[in-house]
Chain A
Amino acid sequence: MLTLRKNKKGDVLAASERPKTSLLIRKDVRKNWFPYLLAIPVLAWFIVFCYGPMWGVLIAFKDYKPLLGFEASPWVGFKHFVDFFQGPYFWRVVKNTLLLNLWGIGFGFTAPIILALLLNEIRSKMFKRTVQTITYMPHFISLVVVAGMIHIFTADEGIITQVLQWITGNEYSSLLGYSSMFRPIYVFSGIWQSIGWESIIYLAAMGSIDTSLYEAADMDGANRLQKMWHVTLPQITPTIVILFIFAVGGLMASGYEKIILLYNPLTYDTADVIASYVYRRGLREASLSYSTAVGLFSAVINFGLLWMTNSIARRKSEVSLW
């Protein structure tokens, strides 16, 4: 939902007179019965699959046992939340979630911008197209396969392990066994997966830059690097800001699918994030209520973060999500 909406306050509807509303609705429904008909299954889907699970978060306040059922399981209030906050892993998972995402923003966020800037300078259609086709490719490879490839390449005698040994001169065993290696592996494989695909959006934004701006820069005697810096970059800044809001808003929310495909007890101290902890406590160790409580905690934090960054962005750059 990358809608750019200039933040103007005057958008409020004129106060409508009450009596007319019902008439208006009737007329609207009669005229637009077709869109409303189509809306029914779509809304039904949202209600079932997106709102349905929201009621389930109540089990975070219970000691839920599936065989007793929801009603018969006893209420325990905030016990699970307290357990989590006081437990030994609270700070670790919060810290890991933040750090992993900061790494992701630091490296993963800038990489596609750089690629798009470089591609934008290429005049040869053939070359550009080839680079694009190849850099998009990893995006279409499934997470399972990507994880499999990482396992293969970082194994005891895997190619990446060998390269690293050659560079550093140290002996390494399987890289996935070192907690210090987890973040680099996670983030750089992520860049490999998405650098090409995520550059598309910036390329598209660059495509719509008014060419007169470049002409003006030429007149000022700007070289290409300066044009890149002073024209292209500022012009795609709104796009960058929007995507940045999403990235920062997601600081506390990392996808756990890739993590659970890559981590192991040896790397928990860097790899275990809130979501993977929820998964492990919930599905592996069957602490259903506890896991739901942790999940709820992170959902609330996420929402707060997103809201915060959005309002900062709105104030600073007049660009926001809502």
Chain B
Amino acid sequence: MVQYKSLGNRLFDGSIYALLTVLTLVCLYPIVHILFASMSNPGELVAHKGLLLAPLGFTLDGYKLIFRDNALIVGYANTLLYVGLGTAINMVMTIMGAYVLSRRELFFKKYIMIVITITMFFGGGLIPWFLLMKDIGLYNNIWAMVLPGAISTWNMIILRTGFQALPQELEEAATIDGASQARILLSVIIPLSKATLAVIFLYYLVGNWNSWFNAMVLLQDRAKFPLQLLLKEILVANDTSAATMGSAGGVVIDSAGSATAYRELVKYCTIVVSTLPILIVYPFLQKYFVKGVYVGSIKG
């Protein structure tokens, strides 16, 4: 019996490892494909069929092309601005809101909570939202990239739960030492909630980096467009002209055939360039994920 059990155990283990390996490869492959394709010779790439397990030839022409053009660089700079400013405002507003909701004996807390909860279930819809944005002057204004998304109620409640989970005694001790409420927030509550803060920081960071819909609806000037909106033109509307104009930068596009190939190449390169920064950041915060997400969600 014992032997049977351990054999079953080993089979069980083996199949789990195998399943997970396959799943992981499936998750990874599309990304690797894009990366290899972005460095491949465009002519070979267009003719290639099947899986791509290594770059076909090697060229950085695609990257040269997209960085020769100003549009993407301006988009990149805009995105950095919106992400920096937006995430800062997100964090400040969310910390303030979560702090208020985590106070135990606020008389008006119940009403504040009601005001906030209702918004999770009801909204005005797209057109009324747009009309309001325009009325308060956010149409074609870069603050449109920052203010409408200043708070994610979800994140605020996660953080509130994190704040509430802190041992009450710490706060009481600090109060006895004569610390003000502001002091306690800054030097007790915030430092102790690092894991949850790291997770919501990442949520906001990623959200801001990837945001495009507000820009599409609210921004009018090309000079204000973030990277993602330009990406949408290139990837979805299939318009790569902004990136493939001309042949300067050492890349000569001699015929329509090769222009088509380069268009494909440019798509792959823009994906890599726009996605890499985020993919580099998140593994550093990964150790906080489980703790941060969990604290905020289950332990009510």
Contacts and interface: CB of A to CB of B under 8 A. Distances in A.
Contact of A145 (B24, B182, B274, B294): B274
B231 interface: yes
A87 B217 CA distance: 27
A29 B51 CA distance: 66
A36 to B, nearest CB: 8
- Chain B: interface size category: 35 or more
Main secondary structure of the interface of A (DSSP, over half): helix
A216 interface: no
A213 interface: no
Interface stretch (B9-17, B57-65, B241-249, B250-258): B9-17
Contacts of A52: 124, 132, 136
Contacts of B54: none
A137 B125 contact: no
A254 interface: no
Nearest to A243: B297
B271 interface: yes
Main secondary structure of the interface of B (DSSP, over half): helix
A225 interface: yes
B31 to A, nearest CB: 6
A157 B49 contact: yes
Contacts of A132: 286
A148 B231 contact: yes
A42 to B, nearest CB: 4
Interface in A107-158: 115, 118-119, 121-122, 127, 130-145, 147-149, 151-153, 157
A56 B300 contact: no
A15 interface: no
B150 A45 contact: yes
Given A34-B180, A41-B93, A141-B275, A239 B298 contact: yes
A50 B231 CA distance: 29
A32 B106 contact: yes
Contacts of B136: 48, 52
A303 B16 contact: no
- Chain A: interface size category: 35 or more
Given A1-B157, A57-B124, A159-B50, A51 B27 contact: no
B33 interface: yes
Contact of A39 (B13, B100, B123): B100
Interface of A: 1-5, 24-25, 28-29, 32, 34-36, 38-39, 41-43, 45-57, 59, 66, 115, 118-119, 121-122, 127, 130-145, 147-149, 151-153, 157, 159, 162, 192, 195-196, 200-201, 203-205, 207-208, 223-225, 238-239, 257, 261, 278-279, 282-283, 288, 291-292, 295-296, 299, 302-303, 306, 322
Given A24-B107, A54-B123, A121-B12, 13 more contacts: A28-B107, A32-B181, A36-B108, A38-B99, A46-B119, A54-B128, A59-B131, A115-B23, A144-B232, A152-B267, A204-B293, A223-B12, A291-B126
15 contacts: A32-B106, A35-B99, A35-B100, A39-B112, A42-B96, A52-B136, A56-B129, A136-B289, A141-B210, A200-B289, A203-B290, A208-B294, A239-B297, A261-B236, A291-B125
Interchain residue pairs A-B with the least CB separation, the first 3: A56-B128, A53-B124, A148-B235
Interface of B: 5, 8-9, 12-13, 16-17, 19-20, 23-24, 26-28, 30-31, 33-34, 49-52, 93, 96-97, 99-100, 103, 105-108, 112, 115-117, 119-129, 131-132, 136, 147-148, 150-151, 153-154, 157, 161, 180-182, 185, 206, 209-210, 212-213, 217, 228, 231-232, 234-236, 238, 264, 267-268, 271, 274-275, 278-279, 282-283, 286, 289-291, 293-294, 296-298, 300
